[in-house]
Amino acid sequence: MEYFIERASSYAADIDLVILVVAILGGFWFFVAQGVLFYFIFKYRRRPGQKAQYITGEKKEEMKWIHIPHNLILICDVVIIVLAIKVWYGVKQDLPPAQETVRIVGQQWSWTFIHPGKDGLIDTEDDIAVVDELRLKKDTLYHYKLESKDVLHSFSVPVFRLKQDAVPGRVITGWFKPTKIGSYDIQCAEMCGIGHGIMGSRLHVESDEDHNRWLEQTSRG
């Protein structure tokens, strides 16, 4: 997965592991099935004087060719289910204690990010609201409080492997922990009207010093 896109959150590697396991198990069955299919197509092509066999597929020894792969696939499914649920639990169900909290508000067609000011708390006077730019400290565990003012939006950060729809009338809480310094795309992944295609923001993950310098500058400004 890292070949396609960077990882920048604490759980990105877990999600990539699920993808890898599905790719290996699914890929195995895919190549087995395609291999057998192409082999049959080649082997049993029409040749003069050769009649097809009469097989009902309803006898026990014939059915085993369906039942054995059937049971093996069931086992693979169970492996995938267990792993997927385990990772899902960590990303979406579990809510580890926050070090800081940001408020994210979607509207047609921009994101507004309300960062905590120097006191480290939101919903206080020194909050810093920025349109289309989110600044986070590396290795800090954030809670996000996601809202929408009008239609459905979806807060999507590919490098975090995170996506969550914003629903008007609700505040949805989740978490992330950035692990890599850099600037990345934030998308809106839910169709939200004619400006959906311009509803992009930038995420800046920075060191504590850089973040504090930005806080200083912004509060002074």
Partner 1 sequence: MSSNAAAGHGDHHEVSFWQKYIFSVDHKVIGMQYLFTGMFMALIGGFFVYVFRMQLAFPGQEVLGFGTVSPAQYNALVTNHGTIMIFWVAMPVLIAALGNFLIPLMIGCDDMVFPRLNRLSYQIFLLSALIIIGSLFVPGGGFGGAWTAYPPLSANSQYSLTPLGSILWVVAVALEFVAFLIGGINFVTTTMNSRAPGMKMFDIPMIVWMIVIASILFMASVGPLIAGAVMLLFDQTMAIGFFDPAKGGDPVLWQHLFWFFGHPEVYVVLLPAMGIVAEVMCTFARKKLFGYKTVIYTALGTAILSFFVWAHHQFVSGIDPRMANIFTVTTLLISIPVAEMLFVYIATLYGGSIQFSTAMLFALAFLVEFLIGGVTGIFLGSSAADIYFHDTYFVLAHFHYTFVPIAIISVFAALYYWFPKMFGRMMNETWGKIHFWGTVIPFNFIFIPLFILGTSGQHRRIYSYENFPDLATPDMQRLRVIATTSLIVMLVFQVPFLINFFYSMFKGKKAGNNPWNSNTLEWVAPSPPPHGNFAEMPEVYRGPYEYSVPGRESDYWPQNEKP
Residues 8-47 that bind partner 1 (CB under 8 A): 14-15, 18-19, 22-23, 25-27, 29-30, 33-34, 36-37, 40-41, 44-47
φ/ψ of 219, rounded to 5, equals -65, -35
- Give the residue, chosen from 128, 130, 152, 181, that forms a contact with partner 1 under the rule CB under 8 A: 152
Residues 50-89 that bind partner 1 (CB under 8 A): 50-58, 62-63, 65-66, 69-70, 73-74, 77, 80-81, 83-89
The number of angstroms, rounded, from the C-alpha of 33 to the middle of its chain's C-alpha atoms is 29
Residue closer to partner 1, measured from CB, 55 or 220? 55
How far, CA to CA in Å, does 180 sit from each of 6, 153, 160? Answer: 9, 26, 10
The number of angstroms, rounded, from the C-alpha of 116 to the middle of its chain's C-alpha atoms is 26
Residue closer to partner 1, measured from CB, 5 or 129? 5
In angstroms, give the least distance from the CB of 74 to partner 1: 6
Residue closer to partner 1, measured from CB, 91 or 215? 91
The number of angstroms, rounded, from the C-alpha of 155 to the middle of its chain's C-alpha atoms is 11
Q: Which stretch binds partner 1 (CB under 8 A): 97-105, 113-121, 194-202, 204-212?
A: 194-202
> Which residue type, as a one-letter code, is found at position 186?
I
- Give the residue, chosen from 99, 123, 168, 212, that forms a contact with partner 1 under the rule CB under 8 A: 168
The number of angstroms, rounded, from the C-alpha of 109 to the middle of its chain's C-alpha atoms is 22
The partner residues of 212 in beta bridges, in order of sequence, read none
- Give the residue, chosen from 102, 162, 205, 215, that forms a contact with partner 1 under the rule CB under 8 A: 162
The partner residues of 85 in beta bridges, in order of sequence, read none
Residue closer to partner 1, measured from CB, 3 or 125? 3
CA pseudo-torsion sign 65, 67, 71, 76: positive
